């Protein structure tokens, strides 16, 4: 399907922003392009649009998953987006009126989230490049987020690792379930959904 005339310049702008970010700090970006539409829709599909609690988005980049969340029916005022890159923060504020953009480190939610935006969250949707971080840092991120979430709420994480989750389940703490492969994304990806065990 051809992109609309409006979408083509935005995709070019997004690619340029990602390449600029990648050149400046490759470990913080972790991708050469934003997530594709099929992957973004799948990630958003795990979020309940009718829940009135906030949704925490980690590493939104240029906002392709943000757009999918809004298209799914999640009110922009519910979205709290934590982004490390100041250029992406500026872009998100310009594109998505109503969302809360917090510039800071998603791997340290206690220090980054303001008290009035610290949850409980109905869902967490993450575009963070987890595989660029050590296993204990990844595990700590999942647990930090799950502690701020409603019971049985999903932590939605994409990964280019198709066979193994970016964070293994921890018995008694949290589980993980994979989606089907998203072969329409370049490169192909998979969504992993984490939930607290209790």
Q: To 10 degrees, what angle do helices 86-95 and 7-24 make?
A: 160
Q: From CA 63, how far away is CA 197, in angstroms rounded? A: 30
pLDDT band at residue 24 using 50, 70 and 90 as cut-offs: low
pTM for the model stands at 0.83
Task: Say which residue the tokens 């994979």 belong to.
Answer: 178
Tell how strand 100-103 and strand 55-58 pair up.
unpaired
Per DSSP, the three-state class of 56 is strand
- Collapsed DSSP state (helix, strand, coil) of residue 177: strand
- Local confidence band at 162 (pLDDT 50, 70, 90 cut-offs): confident
**DSSP per position, 92-155:** HHHHSTT-EEEES-TT-HHHHS-GGGS--BSEEEE---GGGS-HHHHHHHHHHHHHTB-TT--E
Which DSSP letter does residue 49 get?
A: T
Q: What percent of the chain has pLDDT over 70?
A: 82
Bigger pLDDT: 49 or 119?
Answer: 49
Q: What is the pLDDT of residue 120?
A: 95
pLDDT at 4: 46
Fold exhibited by the domain 36-196:
Rossmann fold (3.40.50)
Separation CA 134–CA 73 (nearest Å): 35
pLDDT of residue 9: 53
Q: Report pLDDT digits (tens) over 40-77.
A: 999 999 999 999 999 999 999 999 999 999 999 999 99
């Amino acid at each position: 399907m051809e992109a609309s005339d409006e979408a083509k310049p935005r995709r070019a702008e997004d690619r340029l922003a990602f390449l600029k970010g990648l050149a400046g700090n490759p470990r913080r970006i972790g991708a050469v392009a934003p997530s594709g539409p099929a992957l973004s829709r799948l990630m958003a599909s795990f979020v309940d649009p009718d829940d009135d609690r906030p949704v925490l988005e980690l590493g939104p980049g240029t906002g392709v998953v943000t757009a999918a969340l809004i298209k799914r029916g999640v009110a922009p005022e519910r979205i709290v987006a934590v982004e490390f890159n100041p250029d992406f923060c500026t872009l998100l504020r310009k594109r998505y009126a109503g969302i809360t953009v917090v510039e800071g480190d998603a791997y340290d939610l206690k220090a980054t989230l303001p008290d009035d935006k610290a949850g409980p969250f109905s869902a967490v949707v993450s575009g963070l490049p987890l595989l660029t971080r050590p296993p204990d840092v990844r595990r700590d991120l999942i647990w930090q987020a799950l502690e701020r979430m409603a019971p049985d709420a999903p932590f939605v994480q994409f990964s280019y690792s198709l066979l193994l989750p970016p964070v293994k389940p921890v018995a008694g703490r949290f589980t993980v379930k994979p989606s089907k492969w998203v072969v329409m994304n370049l490169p192909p990806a998979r969504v992993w959904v984490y939930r607290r065990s209790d």
